[in-house]
Each structure stands twice: as C-alpha cells, then as structure tokens.
Chain A
Amino acid sequence: MSEETPRRVEFFFDVASPYSYLASTRIEEICTRHAAGLVWRPILMAGLMKDLGITPPIQIPAKLTYMSRDLQRWAEHLGVPFNVPKQFPLNSLPVMRGCVEARNHEKAAAFAKAAFHAYWVEGRKIDEPAVLHELAEEADIHPRHLLDHVVDHEVKEQLRRETREAADRGVFGVPTFILGGEELFWGNDRLFFVEKALAGQTTKRVLAG
C-alpha cells in the first residue's frame, strides 16, 4: 500500500471482544504519545475464526471461567470500568456493520467507542435497532441513515471483504495491531510490544535524521 507510513497503527477490532474493548480504551492515547496515526478497522471476529478453523475461546469452559477473572484484573490494572454484560456473547454483526458505515462518515472512532462503552460498561443490548439508533446519535451520525445502511448490501459486503482481507494479512484474532502496514501484534496484552516498536521507530528516525 503506497500510502502506508511506518507511523501508522491499524487497529482491528470487534465490539463483541472484551479484549478489544480493553485495547480500545488505550489505543488512542498510545498513538498520540508516539505521534502515530490510527486507523480503526472493524472486522467480524466470528467470521474470521470460522474461516480459519479456530475454536472461539468461550467454547472452552475452563478458558471462559479464567477469562472473566483475567478481564476483571485487567480492568482494575488499567483503571477502566468493565462489567460482563448479561447478554453474552453478543451477535456483533449489526453493530460491526454500523462501524463500517460510521467509518464511511469518518466517525469510526466515535461510533466504536460508543458501542464498546454501551456494551462492556453499561450492558446495553447493542444488537437492537433502538440501541443502534442511540449509538448513532452519540457518535453524531444521522440515526436513520445508519440504520438504513446496516442492512445495505454494500455495507454487508464491505464488512465481509475487510474481514477476509484482514485474514489475508495474517490477522487471526482481535484485537490485532498492524504497524506500518506489516508488523502484526495480537492481543491487548501485546500493546506493550506495540509501544516498544513505536518507540524504536522514533529512535531510528532520530538516529537517521
């Protein structure tokens, strides 16, 4: 991709993923601190896992039990609010289509953050049209327009295509971060490597310049 710069972070996420939520609370600050651009890339985790033959972690009971404790510890560690929603897991298809449509209006970050917060903090039923309507308002997108477009063939196809493209680039789970168009990091717990890599690039630039 010709427009790639080494100081660009692509953030692949699905609102249904709690570790994506945790990452979403930190990614902007990290990119700002390291003067890196940020691209929000909505993808459909369920579709990705199915295509790659990966068993979703929540299908392993021991993993699911562990995850809820692990997430609680992370939230405390990061000082962010977190509540496992009553309605879990979430069918994130409508809201991820909403993220794609929001991005078409350059509101990707605002809409995604509103959705993450609504689901992982407030436990709202974000797969319902009435709630999507509220999220659109929170992100300053015309709600009717968003609701019309989440059922739009083009938006559906766009989410499918971008999920496939992510898989082609080596993405196999969320959250994933791709730096400079090629260096891939998987997991909220790898943001610390992302930061190291961003800091390393800065050093190199200083040395080169």
Chain B
Amino acid sequence: MSKSVDFYFDLASPYAYMASTKIDEVCERAGAKVNWKPFLLGGVFKATGNEMPARIPAKAAYMQKDLRNWADYYKVEFNFPGHFPINSVKPMRACIAAGKEGKLREFARKMYDAYWVHGKKIDDPAVIEEVAADVGLDGKKLLEQIETDEVKDELKKLTGEAIERGAFGAPFMATDRHIFWGNDRLPLLEHVLRNG
C-alpha cells in the first residue's frame, strides 16, 4: 500500500503557509502522496479550547521574528500582512469549491501567496474572485458555490475529521499511524515516512 499524508491547512495560519511551501517536496522525497485538506482553524480552536498564539503580545512579537527565520531558511517570500488576523471562513470554503473543480492545490497556493507574500485581503470576495480567475476558474461561479450547503458542510466535515484525529492547531499532518502538528515537525514527518 502506498503511503499518504493528509495535510490540513488554513490560509489564516502563517505556519501553515510555511509548511505549504514544503509539504509536496517533503512527501515526494519520502515517496508519499499528499492530500491537501482545507479545515477551519477557528473551529479547531473552539472545539479543543486552544487559542490563537498571536493573542499573547510577547508571543506575537516573537512569531514575527521566528517566521522571518523560517522564510530565510526555506528561501521563500514572506511578508507579515497588515491585515491580520483574517476571517478565513470564505477563503477556506473557496478552497473546497476550487477542489470540486480539481484546482485545490493550485488555488490554495495562489491564495497563500496573495495573503502571506502580497498582503492582499483574501477574505474579500473580490480578491477571491481575482485569485480564482488566476488559476483558470470562473470566479463568479466560485463565489456562488461557497454559499452552498454542500461546500459549507464539506469544510465542517473536514474540520471535524481533523479534530477527531487529534488536531488542535495548524498545520496538522496525519498518516494512517501518526499525527504531527506544526511546520517545524516536517522533518519528523519525513522521518516516519521513510522509516515506517
């Protein structure tokens, strides 16, 4: 049986952004398949009693620097957006809708760039429409889809699924036997993929 990793992400999380730039490469190196799974971090926090780290001023200040270190280390672009935090409900529903068109990964990546590199307000429908068009999707149609129960329920389902598997933060990675929390656990994920 081939190995696979479920990668649960929320566009609002900077550490999920960091992980999104590496997850495919890490899994490919270890011979595993990746399933990108949109989930709602706010829902995870609420269900588990966890809270946003940036709520603590000292932590928020440190995070800025820590993220800069990661960006330099990964050699990826990163600019902490002026517009933070965002309500990621619509953007994450948009990821689900993009997935129905077979463009989940491509759309999510562009959304990550739009927010964590270019500081665009990705919770604004106009920006969602623009990014959708950018990956060859019909933006108007996507905005209609995100209002459907089918899309809303799918996001709820995936969020519940992650919580069920032990998630309390993002990014969250799960294999059939292991769970990992955090961009900084990608090396450990790779280790278990390689060594069973």
Segment at the B interface, from A62-70, A96-104, A109-117, A137-145: A62-70
What 1/0 mask marks residues of chain A from 39 to 74 whose CB sits below 8 Å from any chain B CB? 000000000000011110001111101100110010
In Å, the complex CA distance between A189 and B51 comes to 21
In Å, the complex CA distance between A98 and B167 comes to 37
Check B48–A60 contact: CB distance below 8 A. Answer: yes
Interface size class of B (residues with CB under 8 A): 20 to 34
Segment at the A interface, from B57-65, B96-104, B132-140: B57-65
In Å, the complex CA distance between A59 and B168 comes to 12
In Å, the complex CA distance between A170 and B59 comes to 8
Chain A residues with Cβ under 8 A from B51's Cβ? 55
Least CB distance, B154 to chain A, in whole angstroms: 22
Check B62–A186 contact: CB distance below 8 A. Answer: yes
Partner of A167, one of B58, B61, B73, B168: B58
B66 at the interface (CB under 8 A from A): yes
Check A61–B48 contact: CB distance below 8 A. Answer: yes
Q: A77-B191, A184-B62 in contact; A63/B179 too (CB < 8 A)? A: no
What 1/0 mask marks residues of chain A from 170 to 209 whose CB sits below 8 Å from any chain B CB? 1111000000000011110110010010000000000000
Partner of B49, one of A59, A66, A70, A187: A59
Chain B residues with Cβ under 8 A from A186's Cβ? 62, 66
Check B58–A52 contact: CB distance below 8 A. Answer: yes
Which chain A residue has the least Cβ–Cβ distance from B63? A186
Contact residues of B between 136 and 194, Cβ < 8 Å to A: 163, 166-169, 178-179, 181, 184-185, 188, 191
Size of the chain A interface, CB-CB below 8 angstroms: 28
Partner of B62, one of A63, A167, A170: A170
Partner of B48, one of A63, A69, A167: A63
Q: A59-B49, A172-B56 in contact; A73/B168 too (CB < 8 A)? A: no
Chain A residues with Cβ under 8 A from B168's Cβ? 60, 62-63, 66
In Å, the complex CA distance between A190 and B62 comes to 12
In Å, the complex CA distance between A184 and B58 comes to 11
In Å, the complex CA distance between A199 and B141 comes to 52
Chain B residues with Cβ under 8 A from A65's Cβ? 166
Partner of A172, one of B48, B58, B166, B169: B58
Chain B residues with Cβ under 8 A from A172's Cβ? 56, 58-59, 62
In Å, the complex CA distance between A54 and B66 comes to 19
Which chain B residue has the least Cβ–Cβ distance from A189? B184
Least CB distance, A93 to chain B, in whole angstroms: 22
Chain B residues with Cβ under 8 A from A167's Cβ? 58
In Å, the complex CA distance between A59 and B62 comes to 23
Check B166–A170 contact: CB distance below 8 A. Answer: no
Most buried by A among B49, B61, B62, B163: B62
Chain A residues with Cβ under 8 A from B166's Cβ? 62, 65-66
Chain B residues with Cβ under 8 A from A55's Cβ? 49-51
Residue ranges of A at the interface with B (Cβ–Cβ < 8 Å): 52-55, 59-63, 65-66, 69-70, 73, 77, 167, 170-173, 184-187, 189-190, 193, 196
Q: A52-B56, A66-B179, A70-B185 are in contact. List 6 more A-B contacts (CB 8 A).
A: A60-B50, A62-B50, A172-B58, A172-B59, A193-B66, A196-B73
Residue ranges of B at the interface with A (Cβ–Cβ < 8 Å): 48-51, 56, 58-59, 61-62, 65-66, 69, 73, 163, 166-169, 178-179, 181, 184-185, 188, 191
User: Would you mind naming 5 contact pairs between A and B with Cβ atoms under 8 Å apart?
Assistant: A52-B58, A55-B51, A60-B168, A69-B178, A172-B58
